[in-house]
Amino acid sequence: MRIGVDIDGVLADSLPLWVKELNNYFKKNMSLQEIQLQDISRTYGITGEELLDFLHDRGRFLMTSPLPLDGASYYLNQIKKSHDVFIVSARHERFGGETRDWLHKNSLPYDEILLLGSHDKREACLTNDLNVLIEDTLKISVEVSAAGVPVLLMDAPYNQGVLPGLVYRTHSWQDIYRTIADEPHWFDKTVLKELRF
């Protein structure tokens, strides 16, 4: 199979670091549960220009400093033995060097890396003929699954809600590995086409 894997919130435990840095930078006291990474400007009451200044000052640190999520390296290496792994991230290519170094440093293997600079992952999943995307953002999961690509949604405080068909909530990298190993027919595009009416 061809498996897409997000970085922040899936491989990297990024959100606690982002919240700490954003709170320090903008003198706020937001909690993890209040944050929507796709809409940081609204969450923090800042302008797009202020957000760009923050990313200019702290972006490289944010891309290189998070710890990997528990089990990410071990289970991604297990998955990589039998499947092609595509890193599909909203990170911008200007952080490409830092991102590749972080993946290498944390023993997170991949075949190809797609740094989109955008939260629109639908086209990247379709163009690269991915069988499944592992993601942590509910909105992205809904958009990608609506295009016919199943999504394993890594559970997080900010992605609660009703899940549409083809989106399956997981709670750990062990869950993700077991789903891919035990239920590969969930991601077989021939089977999915037959299930549609």
Give the mean pLDDT of 128-142. 95
Q: What percent of the chain has pLDDT over 70?
A: 91
- Are 9 and 32 in the same domain? no
> What was the pLDDT predicted at 193?
45
CATH assignment of the domain containing 86: 3.40.50.1000
- Are 51 and 71 in the same domain? no
Residue that is last in its domain, among 24, 42, 64: 64
Give the mean pLDDT of 61-76. 96
> What was the pLDDT predicted at 15?
87
How many helices and strands, by DSSP H and E, does the chain display? 9, 6
Residue scoring higher pLDDT (59 or 4): 4
- Are 122 and 179 in the same domain? yes
CB distance 7 to 135 below 8 Å: no
The first and second tokens of residue 5, run together, are 């894997």
- Are 30 and 50 in the same domain? yes
Residues spanned by the domain of 25:
15-64
- Are 43 and 104 in the same domain? no
Decide if pLDDT at 96 tops 80: yes
Nearest to 114 by CA among 127, 132, 131, 101: 127
Structural domains in the chain (count): 2
Decide if pLDDT at 32 tops 90: no
DSSP reduced 3-state for 167: strand
- Are 8 and 20 in the same domain? no
Sheet containing strand 167-170, strands side by side: 112-115, 84-89, 2-5, 132-135, 151-154, 167-170
Give the mean pLDDT of 112-134. 95
- Are 34 and 92 in the same domain? no
Distance CA 66, CA 12 (A): 6
- Are 171 and 108 in the same domain? yes
Q: For 145, what's the count of Cα atoms within 13 Å in the CB-facing half-sphere?
A: 20
> What was the pLDDT predicted at 36?
64
> What was the pLDDT predicted at 188?
62
Q: Give the number of other Cβ atoms within 10 Å of residue 136's Cβ.
A: 24
pLDDT tens string 150-166: 999 999 888 888 898 89
What are the CA-CA distances from residue 174 to residues 29, 70, 85 (Å)? 33, 9, 17
* pLDDT band at residue 197 under the 50/70/90 scheme: very low
- Are 32 and 120 in the same domain? no
Give the mean pLDDT of 70-75. 97
Distance CA 136, CA 161 (A): 12
φ, ψ for residue 159, nearest 5 deg: -120, 25
Distance CA 96, CA 80 (A): 21
Residue scoring higher pLDDT (100 or 42): 100
* pLDDT band at residue 194 under the 50/70/90 scheme: very low
> What was the pLDDT predicted at 105?
96
- Are 8 and 87 in the same domain? yes
Average model confidence (pLDDT) for the chain? 89
> What was the pLDDT predicted at 186?
63
- Are 45 and 111 in the same domain? no
